[in-house]
Amino acid sequence: MVTLGIDIGSTTSKCVLLRNGVDIVAKSLVPGGIGTSSPDRAVAEALEKSGLGLGDISYTVVTGYGRTNFKSADMQVSELSCHAIGGRFVFPKLRTIIDIGGQDVKVVSLSDSGKMVNFLMNDKCAAGTGRFLDVMAGVLQIKLSDIENLAAIADKPSSISSTCTVFAESEVISQLANGATIPNVVAGICDSVASRTASMVKRIGVTEQVCMGGGVAQNGGVRKAIEKSLGVPIAYSPLSQLFGALGAAIYAYNKINQVK
């Protein structure tokens, strides 16, 4: 039996096709989220990769910020639940998920048995989100994928005092004008995201195992800065960005099989 999980975020659309609730048959990640054709394209891409057709899918669950706009799914499920399920599938001992997306930050706390017990979310302020990194990468004219290597060679990380994306942007511009090196500024940017994230995580409690999901999880520079801020290792998997879609596909499987 094949189930489909779709996660429509603010900046990307993701799909996972799952066989019997355990085997990932195909996955896709398409740039473009809510309000674009990307969700449909992500579904088409996953189907094409798997060689399956829509008729082969027993149940579809859609999640993420854009889930209510996607009418053809069998069910909509909140992204927090799906992230918890997907995260726990990849890391069975997971207790804390830090999910930094393109426009929001979520921290989800799970019980020993994997039930969501608490969460914090910031989707009002761009500071500390993927958008903050986009703005900074734009100012520095670097690629997001360069951040990890640049931060690694910093010898004296800049200190960025403004939390606000707009004010921090000006601060970075003036630091560069005053001779700060790009690696040092990049390290300062990672520390800025980390300190904001860490204060959210500390409010909810740092229970190990901690993992990162969301697009920013791929960013090793930010991940390492958060590890340093929290003082605990942070698990990461190439599947991290697919936690929502994976959780949705598992939810779909459990729904049909009425797993409680």
Binding site for a second copy (CB under 8 A): 103, 124-126, 131-132, 135, 162-167
Q: How far is the CB of 74 from a second copy (least distance, A)?
A: 30
Q: Is 125 in the site for ligand SF4 (CB under 6 A)?
A: yes
Give the nearer residue to ligand SF4 in terms of CB position, either 87 or 101.
101
**Binding partner selected for residue 131 from ligand SF4, a second copy, none, CB under the kind-specific 5 to 8 Å limit:** a second copy
Q: Looking at 127, 210, 225, 248, which residue binds ligand SF4 (CB under 6 A)? A: 127
Q: How many CB atoms lie within 10 A of CB 10?
A: 20
Per CB under 6 A, the segment of 2-10, 120-128, 177-185, 204-212 that binds ligand SF4 is 120-128
**Binding partner selected for residue 162 from a second copy, ligand SF4, none, CB under the kind-specific 5 to 8 Å limit:** a second copy
Per CB under 6 A, the segment of 50-58, 160-168, 203-211, 213-221 that binds ligand SF4 is 160-168
From the list 249, 259, 233, the residue with the least C-alpha distance to 96 is: 233
Give the nearer residue to ligand SF4 in terms of CB position, either 11 or 96.
11
Cα–Cα distance list, 146 to 133, 221, 225 (Å): 12, 9, 15
Half-sphere exposure of 251 (CA within 13 A, CB side): 29
Cβ proximity of 250 and 89 under 8 Å:
yes
Per the listing, tokens 């698990």 go with 235
Give the nearer residue to a second copy in terms of CB position, either 167 or 173.
167
Separation of alpha carbons 91 and 94, rounded Å: 5
Q: Is 126 in the site for ligand SF4 (CB under 6 A)?
A: yes
Q: Looking at 165, 192, 229, 240, which residue binds ligand SF4 (CB under 6 A)? A: 165
Give the nearer residue to a second copy in terms of CB position, either 120 or 125.
125
Q: Looking at 153, 166, 256, 259, which residue binds ligand SF4 (CB under 6 A)? A: 166
Q: How far is the CB of 103 from ligand SF4 (least distance, A)?
A: 11
Give the nearer residue to ligand SF4 in terms of CB position, either 77 or 127.
127
Give the nearer residue to a second copy in terms of CB position, either 115 or 167.
167
Give the nearer residue to a second copy in terms of CB position, either 109 or 129.
129
Q: How far is the CB of 170 from ligand SF4 (least distance, A)?
A: 11
Q: Which residues bind ligand SF4 (CB under 6 A)?
A: 125-127, 164-166
